[in-house]
Structure 1
């Protein structure tokens, strides 16, 4: 192949950047199917499984999950740094996906299995340990997987396209997790047995699709041949001092925390406030269908408005929609379908742009350091994602206990007030407060083009010195 000439399956965009082949995008996207299914099951049903099936107090279940996040404070940046330093014929990222897929599947199986006859204390310990085990293998496989967003392509818009392709596969899988999980668990008269089968099925799916993805994609040689030179603590310090990354992380952390509160409380809100228990899957499904359908729209709009502004617009729409849910009464329950659709359309932007924007931040860092440190950035990003979601689950557990929630019975007016507040206006207002961080985000298309020019000059200089 001639030097500088794209491979046969690649094509050039108008700006001269290499466009990723659809095959690469498809194989990359497949890897997130299992993650989406298990994440939706965890976010929507794990706390309810613990409180209503295992019959552990919400505050204890929330605290058990939060304990796992102490280990997260170490493993996310550590594993990100480790993949940056890895030198393997299988690639810096793919090797972890290949070897970690099966252990991840086993840990998922254990997450949804609680032995009968355990005391409250032993159940608490079991939940904490199985969640730590799952989180360890999830981090080991998914930090390198997400870091590939930055390294499969350097193009500003192609990264959005790559992420959109991934999400077009992931969101329907997420929807399947929302709709299928309670149906699978409900197939058995023994609820514990039903949830155990949920874990077995989802564990097998997650391991299989991760292996397929890793087998179908290839890392670029210029990325594989570079290794980070700084130690883990220096890498963490450099990443956290990156101004655009700081701004993006704060905005994403707050928005993801708020959205996780909504997802965690949706089943409670529909069952106890609107008395629509039989329609939980329908409402959740509608929201996620609207997320899926909105993805191409948000991707196209970002080509005009840039990623930050488009991200802000979408999440603003979603925030308004969920805030209005506070005012719905049981006789107005059908209106929740309209709000769910609007929220899905708005929050579609949350599924694309944060992940693509981290890749641009890694380029910004590479201009300063000359190193590919995508693993570290996505490691810290994974930490922000998981801590925000764990805080949401734990916070909802504390809230439910504080407002007097009692499982499987009609709720008091005080308990319903807590559910309505933390499902609607509180996360909605918090999201709106963060939007200026995205509207005036510093790495827009013009800034990224300048970064790419500097990187091209650096690579050219390096080539001349070899």
Structure 2
């Protein structure tokens, strides 16, 4: 025992004066230095977040317009595919979370095997989503099958990756720093997804129908036969090939990022666990999580703010094409939004460290409101649209960063209130994603149906005024209302900066007590 104390004192020479510190403080200083993550580890961890964002951004911005104008599907069937795919995606999150809690630890960890083994199958199914099958009656089932398959497989990647945040370090500051790296790379991933998909597809002009008789015909398939297409038959084939080429490039990046994550990050079994007896069941854990007030208030607030940006994402390509009449510029406008968001992540990380996370929520997310109003009130102008896009990107960055930065605080609060209940990190992350995805599926399905009711015409070079008005509501009025509702709910969120510091100190004390108890038990056993 004396030898252990001497070694501990010697290890602190040149760093701290042992005579000024208590033994517990020395142990904490030594442990804290071991918990520091290298920049390389943070970067490798962050790279793992790119595949979900790259594929999600490409699907979010382009799948709706792809189904309508390239696969040439009726808006009603397109709405079914979008809704069922998102709803299934939502359901798979808690399912995967459940199976993760039942997964035993292996040499690779508990979470990493899910990430590695799902990757190749996810890439194959993603490519097939962007393939137009040469079948006349089975297109709906084709897209439903491979869209739902991809959503399942990408969930098997993203849910364990999200939960990995709690298994890379015990230190809250290190997790926050790693989260900031992750959010920067994820928003960069949205830039890549937008740039790759938009620029490759943008090189080809999608043929459209100009004949005014189109708008007097209610059946779009009949209309397709009655009018002349402005491009030759090969043009639509070129467009389809461009979508598949973009899918191939994105699939390659997906695989590369998974390899970097696997090679550069070590999953630490005890990073977030407090010692306890046998872990309790998934359903009992789910009941405890859903009764945790801070968690419910956090996901309720972010549910509505996330819906606002998802509505904007899902309909912005159509809005730029038909309402603003920037058919050949919309991919560049989307790219401006994502570049602005990427460059703004360090700003919001500094802001939340300086002024607190709740303040960052109010300032960051509400800053989008005037620009969402401006883009529909002002006359269509390309320069104004780019200015609005850049400003909106700053708010998008806050919406990306803050939920994932605040969820670990909620988990810490839960661990303090339930020290004997552990291993529920996957439940926290998966059900947050479940609620937002399910609601986004409903909203995207309803928005596509709204376009159908307004009279959307597949492959039309222009659309009726009712469609243009509906698009304005979907990218402005509805998101503004959802943002305001979400910010009102955030008033109820109880974890401010004082509470966060209090929880951090309490967790450190609890872990030190457990470590001290373990040390004493080991010492006693060696004596016996």
TM superposition score normalised by structure 1: 0.91
Residue-by-residue CA offset, 1:92-146 (whole Å, 9 max, x unaligned):
2112112222122122112212312231xx2222221111111111111110101
Residue among 176, 186, 207 paired with 1:160: 176
Whether the aligned pair in 1 keeps the contact of 2:196 and 2:250 (CA below 8 Å) is: no
The residue that corresponds to 2:134 in the other structure is 116
Residue-by-residue CA offset, 1:378-425 (whole Å, 9 max, x unaligned):
111221232233233212211211211113321111111101111112
Residue-by-residue CA offset, 1:35-58 (whole Å, 9 max, x unaligned):
222111101001111111111122
The residue that corresponds to 1:206 in the other structure is 254
Establish whether residue 249 from structure 1 lines up as the match of residue 299 from structure 2.
Answer: yes
Residue among 501, 507, 526 paired with 1:455: 507
Residue among 376, 379, 393 paired with 1:329: 379
Residue among 419, 426, 430 paired with 1:375: 426
The residue that corresponds to 1:142 in the other structure is 158
Give the Cα–Cα distance (whole angstroms) in 1 for the partners of residues 355 and 159 of structure 2: 29
Give the Cα–Cα distance (whole angstroms) in 2 for the partners of residues 179 and 73 of structure 1: 26
Counterpart mapping for 1:18-97 below 5 A: 18-86=35-103, 87-97=105-115
Residue among 490, 494, 497 paired with 1:442: 494
Report the Cα offset of residue 354 of structure 1: 0.3
Residue-by-residue CA offset, 1:332-376 (whole Å, 9 max, x unaligned):
342111211111112211111101111111112222333132111
SS at match of 2:367: helix
SS at match of 1:92: coil
Give the Cα–Cα distance (whole angstroms) in 2 for the partners of residues 459 and 52 of structure 1: 58
Establish whether residue 357 from structure 1 lines up as the match of residue 406 from structure 2.
Answer: yes
Taking structure 1 as reference, are residues 364 and 220 closer, same or farther at Cα in structure 2, changes over 3 Å only?
same
The residue that corresponds to 1:9 in the other structure is none
Residue among 431, 442, 454 paired with 1:403: 454
TM superposition score normalised by structure 2: 0.80
Report the Cα offset of residue 74 of structure 1: 4.0
Give the Cα–Cα distance (whole angstroms) in 1 for the partners of residues 286 and 83 of structure 2: 22
Moved over 6 A (4+): 1-6, 224-228
Give the Cα–Cα distance (whole angstroms) in 2 for the partners of residues 150 and 170 of structure 1: 18
Report the Cα offset of residue 66 of structure 1: 2.1
Whether the aligned pair in 1 keeps the contact of 2:111 and 2:161 (CA below 8 Å) is: yes
Give the Cα–Cα distance (whole angstroms) in 1 for the partners of residues 397 and 86 of structure 2: 27
Give the Cα–Cα distance (whole angstroms) in 2 for the partners of residues 82 and 116 of structure 1: 37
**Structure 1 unaligned residues grouped into runs of 5+:** 7-11
**Structure 2 unaligned residues grouped into runs of 5+:** 13-27, 205-234, 522-528
The residue that corresponds to 2:231 in the other structure is none
Taking structure 1 as reference, are residues 158 and 224 closer, same or farther at Cα in structure 2, changes over 3 Å only?
closer
Q: Which has the larger radius of gyration?
A: 2
Counterpart mapping for 1:286-301 below 5 A: 286-301=336-351
The residue that corresponds to 2:290 in the other structure is 240
Taking structure 1 as reference, are residues 19 and 410 closer, same or farther at Cα in structure 2, changes over 3 Å only?
same
Whether the aligned pair in 2 keeps the contact of 1:150 and 1:159 (CA below 8 Å) is: yes
Root-mean-square deviation (CA), in Å?
2.7
Give the Cα–Cα distance (whole angstroms) in 2 for the partners of residues 299 and 439 of structure 1: 21
Give the Cα–Cα distance (whole angstroms) in 2 for the partners of residues 3 and 204 of structure 1: 48
Give the Cα–Cα distance (whole angstroms) in 2 for the partners of residues 362 and 218 of structure 1: 21
Whether the aligned pair in 2 keeps the contact of 1:61 and 1:127 (CA below 8 Å) is: no
The residue that corresponds to 2:415 in the other structure is 366
Give the Cα–Cα distance (whole angstroms) in 2 for the partners of residues 70 and 286 of structure 1: 29
The residue that corresponds to 1:107 in the other structure is 125
SS at match of 1:278: coil
Taking structure 1 as reference, are residues 3 and 32 closer, same or farther at Cα in structure 2, changes over 3 Å only?
farther
SS at match of 1:442: coil
Taking structure 1 as reference, are residues 75 and 393 closer, same or farther at Cα in structure 2, changes over 3 Å only?
same
Q: How many residues align?
A: 458
Counterpart mapping for 1:270-289 below 5 A: 270-289=320-339
Counterpart mapping for 1:118-133 below 5 A: 118-119=136-137, 122-133=138-149
Whether the aligned pair in 2 keeps the contact of 1:319 and 1:429 (CA below 8 Å) is: no
Greater shift in the superposed pair: 226-235 or 207-216: 226-235
Give the Cα–Cα distance (whole angstroms) in 2 for the partners of residues 180 and 72 of structure 1: 24
Taking structure 1 as reference, are residues 83 and 224 closer, same or farther at Cα in structure 2, changes over 3 Å only?
farther
SS at match of 1:222: coil
SS at match of 2:48: helix
Residue among 245, 262, 266 paired with 1:197: 245
SS at match of 2:329: helix
Give the Cα–Cα distance (whole angstroms) in 1 for the partners of residues 198 and 45 of structure 2: 28
